[in-house]
Amino acid sequence: MTTSLSASARAAPRACARVVAAAALILAGTALSDEASNPRLRVVDYRPSLVLALTVFVGYHVHIEFAPDEYFVNLGAGDTASLDVGAEGNHLLLKPKQPIAGTNLTILTNRRTYFVDYRALGRAPRADEAVYSVVFRYPDSGQPIAAASNAAAADSLLTAPRPALNTEYWFCGSPSLRPVAATDDGLQLRLKFAPHAALPAVYAAEADGEEALVNTHVEDDTVVVHRLAARLVLRRGREVGCVVDRSARLRKHRADTGTIDAGVDRSTREVAR
């Protein structure tokens, strides 16, 4: 039996926008001096070969700002379980959950790749070693770094056009694996689970019947799946569930030929022995 996951997901986007806008407001910091005299606010010239050394502290988050026309796509890390990731527009928020001696991060946006030598410490930072914000500038593109006011930054985040969300997801399988909400923005799927629930591994059911483990990261009680699929399989021990995309968008683009291209037909032929 399948059940709809759409009803409880409709109120999430605006609440998320308000939280991120508030974070942007705090990051700007009216009581702090400008980046020229404050080491907590760093401006870095982007180069494709740059490896950014970044030390963060548990209990603090760091804000990373890209070019205005750039947005976060994916994160590769040696240890993804040790940090939380949030993104809005050209802003990325990293918050360590536990100390880690060192690992590398690869941040992918729609335009560039960023490399980070990352470590997290479990103590409070000294005033001269904390980093609150890293803003990239791009000398080759001639883009100036503008210091927008706190109110303007928060207002732009709240009023920016948001992608249409698909909430037409259905669930089947073990009830203990059922998400309380499922939404996608055309790029990533967010599966929200009950507080303190043991989170499952997520696989994509491929056309050939095989299952492929997909990349994910966790934000509180939400598993963010880095790709979309017509059918996802959730596994935790011997428990199995499925999340099925029933959206009109998917039905519209699904070819009747058994392939991903409506102009290509699939046929099965016997091979002479």
pLDDT at 251 over 80: no
Instruction: Please check whether residue 59 is in contact with residue 97, taking contact to mean a CB–CB distance below 8 angstroms.
Output: no
Determine whether 163 is exposed, middle or buried from the number of CB atoms within 10 Å of its CB (0-12, 13-18, 19+): exposed
pLDDT at 187 over 60: yes
* Tens of pLDDT, residues 189-218: 999 999 988 999 999 998 888 998 999 898
Gap between the Cα atoms of 187 and 261, Å rounded: 20
Residue 84 phi/psi, 5° resolution? -100, 145
Q: Which two tokens stand for residue 187?
A: 């790029």
Gap between the Cα atoms of 10 and 8, Å rounded: 6
pLDDT at 249 over 70: no
Determine whether 151 is exposed, middle or buried from the number of CB atoms within 10 Å of its CB (0-12, 13-18, 19+): exposed
In angstroms, what is the C-alpha Rg of the chain?
Answer: 21
Gap between the Cα atoms of 227 and 261, Å rounded: 19
* Tens of pLDDT, residues 32-57: 344 456 778 889 999 999 999 898 89
**Three-class SS of 72-127:** EEEEEECCHHHEEEEEECCEEEEEECCCEEEEEEEEEECCCEEEEEEEEECCCCCC
**Three-class SS of 176-243:** HHCCCEEEECCCCEEEECCCCCCCCEEEEECCCCCEEECCEEEECCEEEECCCCCEEEEEECCEEEEE
CA distances from 206 to 52, 231, 242, 252 (A): 37, 8, 13, 19
Q: What is the pTM of this model?
A: 0.42
Q: Which helix (H) or strand (E) holds 15?
A: helix 12-28
* Tens of pLDDT, residues 135-185: 999 987 655 444 444 555 556 655 656 567 898 999 999 999 999 999 998
Q: With pLDDT > 90 as the criterion, what percentage of the chain qualifies?
A: 36
Q: Which residue in 164, 155, 144, 162 sits closest to 68, CA to CA?
A: 144
Q: What is the mean pLDDT of the chain?
A: 77
Q: β-pairing, 72-77 with 91-96? A: unpaired
Q: Which two tokens stand for residue 258?
A: 């058994």
Give first-to-last CA distance, the chain, whole Å: 44
